[in-house]
Structure 1
């Protein structure tokens, strides 16, 4: 079936022709921290059907937003990852995260949640503590790390090999920081379960 288009000669319209379909930006959110297998995407996009996921992956690949490659022993595993064009959508995700944070309110019993979904709003709080450097955040069994520098902030799967700061949060604390209910600095100052280094590599 041919894809529908707004047929507006407008940059916003053209962008929405590519990423405006339901699930597309959430798929980009999932891939913004690193490659994912099909099963990973399906598990972390509760509510999507296998048919829709497959169709969206195919369309975004055709549009140059993501690519797929073989990896693992005998190249038996297929992973999807963002292209440079796809990665350049991070500011869009950041802006939507800022705008949508005020809409979170209380979590409803029917709301799905994944720890890594807090990576975008937590990143802004982390950058206030560490304007330049590497920070690992653990939320339960999930871990991701931030690279913060003059070019902005990015987050990546897993802990960093060496981090200037390492934080351990539970889901409640992560939610409080993400929604602005509690400053991250308060948690760092009150919690002894974190590790940090100065930029010279010495513990502080």
Structure 2
């Protein structure tokens, strides 16, 4: 475990960057907001990170109280990483950073990787109300828990139980929402999002 580097400045922003300012740390947080993840899953969903750097960042996050590691019981018998309550508080930081970075998103470059669940945080900012929402893209499915304090705010794959709303849309629509160019309600009105389900989120979106 490498010693923590410090800006040595008596400032809360500098102190925060001492903990989360290293490259990859906040993106690891983004992945762990989905709940417990195995090392191999984290590596697969963080294209470009080396195994050494990922291992080092995870150790640093354990040391700094942002993440913990535990062993799953049989038949899983694998180690997973998950955020601590303090680590989950970084959701607000990532949401603010994502909103600030909307204008930087631009068009997708040929070298840009993409994962369906990376659109989870922009949709969390854009959706209103409370409930479980399942999202389907051609690239994959994920689900969100909006307006509810949960250990995980999104997850890969279909919702683990009957969702309050199902949204079907394409990446172009998701990208426009992520850039702040299109609201979810306007996308529904324009027929760019198909909404099904009987929960309050679905009913609110169909009434737009």
Distance across 2 between alignment mates of 1:97 and 1:195 = 28
Q: Which residue of 1 aligns with 2:153?
A: 155
Distance across 1 between alignment mates of 2:101 and 2:42 = 22
Query: Aligned to 1:73, what secondary structure does the other structure show?
Result: coil
Give yes or no for contact 1:167–1:194 (8 Å, CA) kept in 2: yes
Distance across 1 between alignment mates of 2:160 and 2:172 = 23
Aligned-pair CA distance for 1:72:
4.8
Aligned-pair CA distance for 1:198:
4.0
Distance across 1 between alignment mates of 2:73 and 2:145 = 25
Aligned-pair CA distance for 1:3:
2.4
Find the partner of 1:136 among 117, 134, 137.
134
Q: Which residue of 2 aligns with 1:170?
A: 170
The answer to whether structure 1 residue 10 and structure 2 residue 11 are counterparts is yes
TM-score (structure 1 length as normaliser): 0.86
Aligned-pair CA distance for 1:125:
1.7
Distance 1:95 1:178, change over 3 A: same
Q: Which residue of 1 aligns with 2:196?
A: 195
Could you tell me which runs of 5 or more consecutive residues in structure 1 were left unpaired when the two chains were aligned: none
Q: Which residue of 2 aligns with 1:87?
A: 88
The answer to whether structure 1 residue 58 and structure 2 residue 59 are counterparts is yes
Could you tell me which runs of 5 or more consecutive residues in structure 2 were left unpaired when the two chains were aligned: none
In the comparison of the two structures, how many residue pairs are matched?
A: 197
Aligned-pair CA distance for 1:74:
4.5
Give yes or no for contact 1:146–1:155 (8 Å, CA) kept in 2: yes
Give yes or no for contact 2:127–2:146 (8 Å, CA) kept in 1: no
Q: Which residue of 2 aligns with 1:110?
A: 111
Aligned-pair CA distance for 1:195:
1.0
Distance across 1 between alignment mates of 2:94 and 2:193 = 32
Q: Which residue of 1 aligns with 2:27?
A: 26
Q: Deviations over 1:118-177 (max 9, x none)?
A: 1111112222xxx2333222223221222325x69x722141513221101222221122
